[in-house]
Amino acid sequence: MKRVAVTGGTGMIGRRVVDALRARGDEVTMVSRSAPGAVHWSEPTAEPAPPEALAGRDGVIHLLGETVAQRWTDAVKRRIRESRELGTRNLVQGLSRLAESERPEVLVSMSGIGFYGARGDERLDETADPGDDFLAEVVQAWEAEARKAEDLGMRVAISRTGVVLAPDGGALSKMLPPFKLGVGGPVAGGRQYMPWVHLDDVVGALLFLLDRGKDVYNVAAPEPVTNREFSKALGRALKRPAVMPVPALAIRALYGEMAFIVTTGVRAVPARLMAERYSFAQPDLEDALRAAVS
């Protein structure tokens, strides 16, 4: 049995992580701004994490962060960056205040495939260089703060997570309405790659990293697909046509600068997870989509 603190445990991913930890017999301490029964961390961007949430735990899974999937105003971009960079810095500061005997052994910190920027059809493993757009810069700063826990003698594992397929949120929930009406289809030509991953494997990989991971891992399915391939598979899963193209201009009108993520994409592969023999629960796109929309 492990004693694990989880930040962001009330979010889409966090709820499933907490359930999975408890299902295998671990003791979970949730760290939240206001969730009932959690240790409260009122201002993650302004104050160190509370020591009572961290002391004596075996590990920490850090999932806090402002959602990226929204229209990017200047204020939203600031919240996206600060929630990740300052929130992680303050978590590590809280860890630094613990006596060495009370400090967790491992920090598993969420990160994103956005690290790589737009790279066309280049196949990218964890050794690839970072991009230089807004999100890539945010992810680099985020990961740099998490790595500071290594100076405390902790093992640090970072999860660069792809496009999460889940039945109750995330990117898929925004795609489903037009596809269910039979008016979905490829976006911006559909040639851009989508590093998709089912929620089951996000959770599975985070627990895998908690137990044995070190360094950075792309958390995506073994084979990324193009947006066109994804659209066809989603149409088949829903038994609806998926041939209505969505022009890039329409996506930019809806999401502004954030549309860059949807119209460019990245072909990231989970080389390190595969080398370390992580067993994917949902490696096949059509099976994963059917599971997510059933």
Residue whose token pair is 């929309």: 293
| pLDDT tens column, 35-65 | 888 999 999 999 999 999 999 999 999 999 9
Q: Report how many domains make up the chain.
A: 1
Q: What is the pTM of this model?
A: 0.96
pLDDT score recorded for residue 176: 85
Beta bridge partners of 6: 30, 61
236 domain residue, yes or no: no
Range of the structural domain that residue 28 is part of: 3-166+195-221+267-280
209 domain residue, yes or no: yes
pLDDT band at 170 (very low <50, low <70, confident <90, very high): confident
Q: Are strands 155-161 and 196-198 parallel, antiparallel or unpaired?
A: unpaired
Query: Residue 12 is encoded by which pair of tokens?
Result: 């889409």
289 domain residue, yes or no: no
103 domain residue, yes or no: yes
Distance of CA 282 to the CA centre of its chain: 16
CATH number reported for the structural domain that contains residue 43 in this entry: 3.40.50.720
Beta bridge partners of 120: none
245 domain residue, yes or no: no
255 domain residue, yes or no: no
Percent of the chain that is helix, strand, coil (3-state, to 5): 45, 20, 35
| pLDDT tens column, 73-127 | 999 999 999 999 999 999 999 999 999 999 999 999 999 999 999 999 999 999 9
275 three-state secondary structure: helix
Residue whose token pair is 């037009």: 178
> Which amino acid appears at position 30 of this protein?
M
276 domain residue, yes or no: yes
Shortest CA distance to 60 belongs to which of 114, 9, 12?
Answer: 9
pLDDT score recorded for residue 136: 97
81 domain residue, yes or no: yes
Distance CA 158, CA 142 (A): 10
For residues 226-255, give the mean pLDDT.
Answer: 87
